Amino acid sequence: MLKHQAFIILASGSARRRELLRLGGYEFEVVVPDVDESAFSSAGRGACEYTKRLALAKAKSVAARFPDSLVIGADTVADFNGEIIGKPADAEEAEQITRKLFSKAHKVITGVAIVRLSDGTEIVESDTTVVEPRRLTDEQIAEHIKSRSWLDKAGAYAIRENGDEFVERIEGSLTNVTGLPMELVERLLEGFI
């Protein structure tokens, strides 16, 4: 059971986000938000705006239950030439996404929201990282899909902290691509801690 006096709450079920926040030295509780992501349309919206809307919805969903806590919400998508790519529904979609994203450079965008209802705190920003992939062979793609490591990952992949055999280089925050842009989170939390 969550302690009512928890200072920071991470509104996410993501193990990667929990690990990054823990490695950042933060003490926090985890509460999974009750947000139907499929109810949020990306039509007519840029990836930054879309991720910020979802991050804010997630943070507010949890903050409604814990108004005195700082709640961090986040949402990540891949942006391929303006097309917003979220989590694949199945292996077939994961393969389509993988073939697309690993054909040329794309962006990984994470919206981050910090909400505390008791004093009206509401901060929402986003971070963008450009990923330049290595071209994958059909065999590498098949192995990736078979591994199921794409499950629950925006863009059907997650880069590892020590690099990735499929990524040539990145421009921007590595932690943004691994799950939570810690440089942005630390800057946003600065005034509160």
Active site residue 75: yes
User: Is the whole model's pTM more than 0.85, yes or no?
Assistant: yes
**Per-domain residue ranges of the chain:** 8-192
C-alpha 110/C-alpha 131 separation (Å) is 13
pLDDT confidence of residue 5:
40
Beta 167-171 vs 121-133: how paired, if at all? antiparallel
Give yes or no for a contact between 181 and 173, defined as CB atoms under 8 angstroms apart. yes
Residue of 36, 68, 75, 152 marked active site: 75
Model pLDDT for residues 55-79, shown as the tens digit of each residue: 999 999 999 999 999 999 999 998 9
Model pLDDT for residues 29-49, shown as the tens digit of each residue: 999 999 987 777 776 678 999
- Asked if residue 154 has pLDDT above 60, the reply is yes
Q: Which residues of 111-128 are buried (b: 16+ CB within 10 A; e: fewer)?
A: bbbbbbbeeeeebbbbbb
State the fold for domain 8-192.
Maf protein (3.90.950)
- Asked if residue 84 has pLDDT above 60, the reply is yes
Share of the chain above pLDDT 70, in %: 91
